[in-house]
Amino acid sequence: MRNARVGWFAALMVAALVAIPSPAATKSSDLTVVLDFKGPHSAKSVDAMKQETQGILKSAGVHLDFKSREEAASTSVADLVFVRFNGACELPPAPLYDELGEIGPLASTYETDGQVQPFSEVSCDRVGAFVRSGMHGGDFKMGDLLIGKALGRVVAHELVHMLTGQAKHSHQGVFEPALTVQQLIAGELPLSPGDLERLRSRP
Ligand SMILES: [Zn+2]
């Protein structure tokens, strides 16, 4: 009866939210995310990435509007962040690195004079190599989707930096300082309760 118990617990949490209304909990905002791909990218992976990132941030009331650089240039939007994707955003045909330790950071967000900037860079080559290292058997049939899911979690992580202005990481969830390959491709990787609170109460 494990499922029934999980369902009951979720229902209880919803009831608690309804019973204690908080303006912060109902606040929602829109954020335009400009995606700038510098290399080849699988359409399937990009779709899966957008879905995953939105799925994670929607719990904090943040609604994302993804635009290409060209689209963003012809419109004026206020709340806007840039994410640049370097390398190939698709499943690499063969392992690119021998040692996992050599992969290096998957993404970074810029900071100037202690201020987090609305600009991130994602290394698709590193994400691809890392994800590939954790794939087995049937995973390869859905390689594009897994790369997309991992990219979506990486982008969600960087968006938390940009939206909260925080460089300091959390101890759990998508905003942990380092994520394992299983955290990137398996199950779900939500925001921690603390991150949810920070995102909901941001000005
Ligand atoms: Zn980080």
Cα dist from 102 to 90, 106, 129, whole Å: 19, 11, 10
Whole-prediction pTM: 0.83
Distance 92 CA to ligand 1 centre (A): 24
Q: Which fold has domain 29-200?
A: Collagenase (Catalytic Domain) (3.40.390)
Distance 108 CA to ligand 1 centre (A): 7
Distance 171 CA to ligand 1 centre (A): 12
Element housing 50 (H / E): helix 43-58
Contacts of 151 (CB under 8 A, 6+ apart): 45, 46, 48, 49, 52, 85, 89, 122, 124, 127
Mean pLDDT value across residues 92-113: 77
Distance 30 CA to ligand 1 centre (A): 22
Question: What's the rounded Cα separation, in Å, for the pair 91 and 123?
Answer: 13
pLDDT per residue as tens digits for the range 136-170? 999 999 999 999 999 999 999 999 999 999 999 99
Distance 164 CA to ligand 1 centre (A): 12
